[in-house]
Amino acid sequence: MNPYLTLLKPRVIWLLILASLAGYLYSARQPDIAQAFSLLLVAFLSTGGAAAFNHFWERDIDAAMRRTAKRPLPAGLVEPRNALAYSLVLSALGIALGFLLLGPLPGLFVFLGWFFYAVVYTVILKRRTWLNILGGGFAGNATFLGGYALGAGTVDLHAVLISFAIYLWIPSHIWALAYKYRDDYRRAGIPMLPTVVGEKAAVVIISLLNLASAAYIMALYLAFGGGLLGGALVAAGVVATIATGAYALATKTDEAMWKMYKASSPVLTLFLLALIANA
């Protein structure tokens, strides 16, 4: 993959872009193709710019971790100054176009999504506290709320409650991954939940959070979803998450934790697709 494309973290940002689109299609009475395209463009630029900035800021961390040592900056494929310029140009374009093409309220959420990931999570919290992901997770709320605001012209309690499906899923997902690579994080000196509490305690907390996230997603769909097809999609993801989460909670093994991580990965995607299907 081209290193400049890798800097955008396409395997990460596509879910945030989907959340924006889901928010728009779910809330808009008559979705407009041009609006949807503008939203996708803005979401791609702003989330990609934030991701590229994260690569720049954390290049020393990436070099210290086996999992990330081959990323473009530690591998010497991109110069740091080029990565910084690239990230700032993309970010500025995404935020400016958010206000120009989408309007003040959606544009505000585009900015907040960028700010919570690039500044709150990456610069302020990541190296200082294991609560980093709880602060940065609001970027997930913002992506959905930006799309919702574009479609509805406002943001209501309904939208906020749905956006917290993303917020709850993010730490349960990231901490499960961090558990597998906990030695990497210790080596790099990064405080993540699995590195600051005992391993058994980490398993219990992460497993319970996965269970809570799945239950919340199911409850949201029953309250605000409706269609049978969407219900089947959500139920499949929720059942897999609950089954593997309960297994991890009972056995507390590395293998069970990794199975939970893999099984719970699709549940948010399925929920967002279900919202789109019932729009």
> Could you report the average pLDDT of every consecutive run of 10 residues in the chain (279 residues)?
95 96 95 97 98 98 94 97 98 98 98 98 97 96 98 96 97 94 94 94 95 95 83 92 93 92 92 89
- Vertex 94 angle, CA 92 and 100, to 5°: 100
The predicted structure's pLDDT at residue 227: 80
Same domain, 133 and 163: no
CA distance to 22, 62, 172, per residue, from 80 (Å): 34, 13, 31
Give the pLDDT confidence score for residue 255 in this predicted structure: 93
Residues 31 and 134 grouped into a single domain: yes
81 CB neighbour count, 10 Å cutoff: 9
Q: What is the pLDDT of residue 230?
A: 85
Q: What is the pLDDT of residue 247?
A: 94
Residue span of the structural domain in which 109 resides: 1-155
Rounded-to-integer distance, Cα 83 and Cα 67, Å = 20
Token duo for residue 106: 């959606």
Stated pTM of the model: 0.95
pLDDT at 212: 96
Considering the domain architecture, whether residues 194 and 231 belong to the same structural domain is answered as yes
Predicted pLDDT of residue 228: 84
Q: How far apart are CA 186 and CA 110, in angstroms?
A: 33
* Amino acid identity at 150: L
Considering the domain architecture, whether residues 200 and 276 belong to the same structural domain is answered as yes
Domain identity same for 220 and 146: no
pLDDT of residue 53: 98
Same domain membership, residue 126 and residue 27:
yes
Do 68 and 114 fall within a single domain? yes
Give the CATH number, domain containing residue 224.
1.20.120
Helix (H, G, I), strand (E, B) or coil at 147: helix
* Co-location of 241 and 134 in the same domain: no
66 and 187 in a single domain? The answer is no
- Asked if 201 and 216 sit in the same domain, the reply is yes
Quote the number of domains for the chain: 2
